[in-house]
Amino acid sequence: MDIIYQDKNLLAVDKPSGINSDKELMEKLVKEFPQLKEVGESPRYGLIHRLDKDTSGILLIAKDNKSLSFFQKQFKQREIEKKYIALVAGSIKSNEGIIKTLIGRDKKSIKQRVYLPSSPESKRTGPRPAETLWKVLKRYKKFTLIEASPKTGRKHQVRVHLAYIGHPVVGDKLYSFKNQLCPKNLKRQFLHANELKIKLFNGQKKKFISQLPKELKQILRTIQKESSDRIN
């Protein structure tokens, strides 16, 4: 687990896929940074936000309680700029778009679900407004590589929204469609938090970048070769 950046208030790490950000990751960080035991509540400690277990990328941790409140406030007020790289099933017709729905928990499972705009909103337990911007980065024979920018922070938001428009994240075991095509050797969902911009205590805007992991780059090389072979 690489440390992207740190100062006296903030720690930015590059979370690998397969690690739970709430518990496993914080247990590892507390061993290296014992002062985190004094921040927030166990087992999350100074964790400012979350990433799904099988999503890799930038994760922020506060080093003290004052910093935790400062940075979490920016998330709540939608002042954070986040970007994800996702490989989705099929070919999206448009080159860019915006998805606006309500998202809430499916009472019958651990999944989140999309609600129609006419559904009653709730600030706590029911469906809440969710908005995701997206644009195409590259097109393949049977897949599309996109950049997704969630403007709200609902659980599973990017995954739910992409499935809602008919193009689920490939490798997503929870929101994929039945018999959905998946690249060979992909062992996880192809979703990576590659960019995050936040305001530091000194008022400076700081942008963090996380490069696409090697295994995902290899998947792109493989499907690029397959697409070229079919054309030739």
For the chain, give the DSSP string.
-EEEEE-SSEEEEEEPTT--TTTHHHHHHHHH-GGGGGSSBTTTBTB-S---TT-EEEEEEESSHHHHHHHHHHHHTT--EEEEEEEEES--SSSEEEEEEEEEE-TTSS-EEEE-TTSPP-SSSS-EEEEEEEEEEEE-SSEEEEEEEESS--TTHHHHHHHHTT-PBTT-TTTPPTT----TT--S--EEEEEEEEE-TTS-EEEEE-PPPHHHHHHHHHHHHHHHHHH-
Q: What is the pLDDT of residues 41-53, one digit of tens each?
A: 988 999 999 999 9
Tell me, yes or no, if the pTM score tops 0.85: yes
Ranges in the chain annotated CATH 3.30.2350.10: 1-77, 81-195+212-232
> Catalytic annotation on 2?
no
Chain mean pLDDT for the chain: 91
Percent of the chain with pLDDT over 70: 94
- The model's confidence at residue 231, banded by pLDDT at 50, 70 and 90, is very low
Instruction: Give the architecture-level CATH label for domain 1-77.
Output: 2-Layer Sandwich (3.30)
> Could you say which of 52, 54, 106, 229 is catalytic?
52
Dump pLDDT digits (tens) for 53-81.
999 999 999 999 999 999 999 999 999 99
CATH number of 81-195+212-232: 3.30.2350.10
